[in-house]
Structures are given as C-alpha cells and as structure tokens.
Structure 1
Amino acid sequence: LLRALLRLPFDGAAVFSLEDDHPRLRVALGDLSEDPALAERLAQSPTYLHPEGRPLVRPLDTPTEPLERWAKAEGYAEIWALPLFALDRQLGVLLAFARERIELFSEDRSFLETVAAELEVVLESARRFEEVVRARAELADAYEKTLWGWAKAVELRDQETAGHTERVTALAEALGRALGLSPLELADLRRGAILHDVGKLAIPDVILRKPGELSDAEWSELKKHPIYAYEWLKNIPYLQRAIDVPHYHHERWNGSGYPEGLKGEAIPLLARIFAVADVYDALTSDRPYRKAWPREQALRYLETHAGELFDPRVVAAFLRLAEVQTV
C-alpha cells in the first residue's frame, strides 16, 4: 500500500500503529529509514500523533514540534498526516513527506484516502491477530504453570526426587534438539517431561516414601504409576502427544520395561528420548539408598546398555551431547 502511495509526489511515507497511545513504526518506505527514533519524535508531536484533518498538511517553514524539526533538517518541505480509524477508535497514523510543496488534485486526494482506508483494514486485522497471539501465549503460559504445579505436588510427596523434574526436563529438551526434533515435538517432549511422574500422586505414601526395600506387592503397585498418569491425562487434548512420556518412559528397548513391555521402535520416540535423560539424572543424583554416580560411570552405563535397555541412536546422541556441554 505504501509503494502505491509513492506513486503520488511524496518522497517518503510511514505507517504507525498506536498502542496505549504510543506510536509503533510498522513500515517506512521511500527515502525514510525504519528508524525507531521516528516513533519517538511522533510521540512528542501531538499535532501529528492525533492529526485533525484528513489529511492534515503542514509546511515546514517554521517547525515547532520535534517531528517537524527533524523533517526540516532532513530536507523535507511538507508533512501530510492522516489518522487511521476503526469504529471511531484511532488505530494509527499515516505520515507522508515531500521535499517540495505539493498540490494534489481531487483524484489524487481520493487515491490517498483509499490507501488510508485500506491501511485501516490492515491495522485492525493486525491488532486482532496480535490479540489472538497474545491470548494464546498467555493461555500456554497458564497451562505450563499448571503442569509445573502438578510436578511440584509429586516432588513434595516423593521428597527424594526434589529438583529432578527441572533437571531432567532441561536435559530431555537438549537431547531432543540434538536429535533434530521439530519445535512442536520439543514442546510435547517438554510437557511430557514435566508430567513424567504425575501418576505417583496415586501411589500411597507407605509405598512412595518407604525408606526400605519394597515388597513384590508394593513394587507392583508402584509400577502402575504410568497407567494412572495415562488415565488422568488421556482426555486432555492439549496433552495428547505429550502423554507418551509419562505413559511409556519406563519401557525398555529389549521389552523388559513396564507397563506394557513394549520393545524397540514400538516405544514412542519421545518416551525413548526421555528414558535416557531420566536414567542419567537418576544415576547422577543422591538417593537415600545410594550416593550419586560419577558422570563418567553413568555415561558408561548408558553406553553399555544401548541396544539393550535404551534406543542406541538416542544414547549415541546423548554421548555426543555430553562431549560438548555439561550434562
């Protein structure tokens, strides 16, 4: 639209939106640069911020406002300003600059008005789109905070894993990036990692916090926590892809895991990725029944059991990751 406007005898043009009555430069063409300071000059120039007239035309013989002083110093002779409205609400301003005094004939003024009207539609559409994007971002943030609330509830009950969720989530994300996951897959991996142990909320304290060795019956009950997680989360559309992590992260490559004894690539990829990060963090963290393993010993364990307990491709990526960053 601005390129079309420059068919008229203007040397530069700029469009600004108004956000809380402060101008934001959207685009500048012609011999204008997209200088953020241009918006500040407009903000300090009320005659142009809220122009009275359609268009307002001001020669720069005796500049009084910051925008006029700047324009005159840049060699412009005249500023044309049009307020941009939608439903009686000012959305922005169109400014056009000319290095010589100009006179527009009626058809040119009509064309200028048409361009301004089209810009009003564009700005209103952009405003609505940005509101939707902002609302979605706020909703996603609220969802994530809710997920972290559930994770904290697990850690408050299972005190031996305090801090585990933050560490293993960051580690799983780094491993996912190393494996080339898409942004959508990484987001699902992150949500699943945050919720990986949420099923433990259904496990009785006498089992979850038992200081000694679990009986066979107790161990069987503890191994149900991935099933509990699945039952809780399966009807939440937002988590349909992420649910693979809490449901299957205890499955093992050779089929010896639980809850379903899945084998090889039948185990969802996100669960295979998370399993490596989860076991590594568990081995390198202090537990009541043992001290943390040294980093090198934990890495050797993963390497030894690649192709047996863990996806060998995922382990190889983890070992490469460990060479270039602290894990």
Structure 2
Amino acid sequence: MIDAPRDLRGRPRGDRALGLIGLVVGNYLGAMSRVPYDPRVALRPPDTAATLTVASVTPVTSDGDVAQIDLVDAGGSSLPAWQPGCHIDVHLEGDTTSGPLRRQYSLCGDPADTTRYRIAVRRIGTVSERMHALRAGDTVTVRGPRNAFLFARESSVHFVAGGIGITPILPMVRAARDLGLDWTFVYCGRSRESMPFLDEIESWNSPRVVVRTDVDDGLPTATDLLGFAARGGAVYCCGPTPMLNTVRTSFAGCGATALHFERFGAPPVVGGRPFTVTLARSGRTLTVPADRSALSVIVDEDPTVAYSCRQGFCGTCKVRVLAGTPEHRETRLSPTEQQHHMLPCVSRADSDHLTLDV
C-alpha cells in the first residue's frame, strides 16, 4: 500500500466548507464536461479541415528541443471551443507522391482564448522537424478539436506528467487551480533543460507541485508518482510508456479510485505473432514481427503514411484490406467497416498475410 500524506506538506487538505464547495463544483462541472461533443452547435464539425496561420513559434525549453506553436485564423475569426484534454490533427503537405503528413498534438493553451490554438512539439523525427521549421505567416491544415482524454474535474485530483506529456495535463492543472479543487501535481523529466513550461509551473510557487528530474532525483518510483494521490480521488497521467506502466501497475495501492491516462507513444504489442503485409501501391512485401505493429513497419518503408494516436481510437490510419483476414484490436470501426478496413496501429493479421491499399 502507498500511504499518501494528506497534502504535500502532510497537512489537512483544507476546511470542510471549502471541501463541500469543491465537491459541488466538481460534480457539476464534471457532469457538464461529459456531455458529448455536438458538431451542430460548434463553429464547424471536428472533421472539417480548416487552414490556420502560424502566429508564432517559440522555444519553451532551454535546450530548444520543444517549440510552442500558436495557430490563428488568418481573418481573425474565433476558433471552435475546446476543453482540457483536447487535441487537434495537424496536416502538412508531403511530397508529390505521398500526400499529406498528419500528426496529433494536444492543445496546451487557455480554453477561454478562442483566438488561437496553442500546441507544443518536441523535436524527435521528420515531422517534428517540419513543425519546428514553421515560421510566422506559414499555413497548416487542422482538423478538430477532439477530446479522447476528458478532464471530469473530480473534487480531489492528482496529476502526473512526464516530459512532453505535460501538454494535455497543463490545461487540466490550470483548471483545477482556477476552480479551487483539491489537487496535487508531479512533473517529471530527464533534466530541467528538457522540461516544457517549467518556468510557468514553478512561478505558481505552490506546495502542491513536485518537480523531479532523472538527473537530480533518479527514475521515479511508484511512491514518487502516486504518493500524493488522495484516497477516493482521481489520477490523470500522461507520459512515456515506463511511467504509464508504473502508474497503472501501482494504482491499486494508492487509494485513488479513478485512473485516466493518455499515451504519447504507441502501446506495447501483447500476444502478437509475425505476419507479412504487401503494400499494394508499391508492391513491396514487409515482415511484421511479433512485437511490432503493422503501422510501425509500414512507416519505416513510407514515413508519410497518415497516422495520429497509434492507439486505435482516432481512425487516422484506417486502411482498406485487399486480401487476407485482419485481427481487429480496436473498437473504433463499425462491424461493417471491419469487413474491409483495419487500423494497422493496433490491429494485426488472423491470416499469415495481408494486402493493404497503401
């Protein structure tokens, strides 16, 4: 069992009156935040493409590896509203044969500011290099916002973020502060130089916040990550796979009752077996090992293949199956769609071979 102190200094968590107020506010706003997104009352449906203009590109880590990018409507119009946890899909033009590149980025600005969408991008590959190369006045195509990581605003909530996983968590922490909820926050990174928005977070000067670095403190343990979670409360976590694994496997001992998390990397493949996949448009046949996704192998061959979440919920990588039998490991596609399509980010093959319309 993880025996958590009642706050970061071991003190009681506020008086009873404030606790009751927080409970009422949290329950009300939590219910409101669970109302499904209705495109009929939005400024545009989330699947409708919009061309936005880059307003600024600003480094937000001292090592320069994370850039904050603000996107606005060129005519000054308001953008569709969003809530903490929302993301947008950004489309960049590819070469003449491969089509657009699409990636998913969490919104990390202020939901009350409808003049801009703010994202943060860590430089880790070809697409992120393209994003870092954007300059004010450039345009990108955007779809969304969508929310697959809904913040329910429980009255007692503990946040855990690792590295670039801060992007969906930061608006949630700000909301918890503004609403007067009972909250705590552990923020981890390799080093202070690599941690986005650290200046803002430390400017709060709050005893509710713990900042840890691998360089100074070592790799975080389950107690480091979950030791301040309130009994009966909720935990929100976004970070690298080892962090998520630690939180998930240790959660039962922390006393909290609700765990919400979002990956920014692909989940490990469990129970896979090898198969081959033929890309119909190029004629290339590739081997998918037991411990890799079909998408990861395909992207090695063609880095411009469209994908986003890599977890089977966004549908961006949906592809037509021309031959073979998929093993569907997602719940996004309808039974009718599954007859002829698959999501190669998580789904595999029930047959020894697949031919895909890629």
Task: State the structure with bigger RCO (CA 8 A, min sep 6), 1 or 2.
Answer: 2
Query: What TM-score do you get using the length of structure 1 for normalisation?
Result: 0.21
Query: What TM-score do you get using the length of structure 2 for normalisation?
Result: 0.20
Larger of the two Rg values belongs to structure: 1
Structure richer in strand, relative to its length? 2
Structure richer in helix, relative to its length? 1
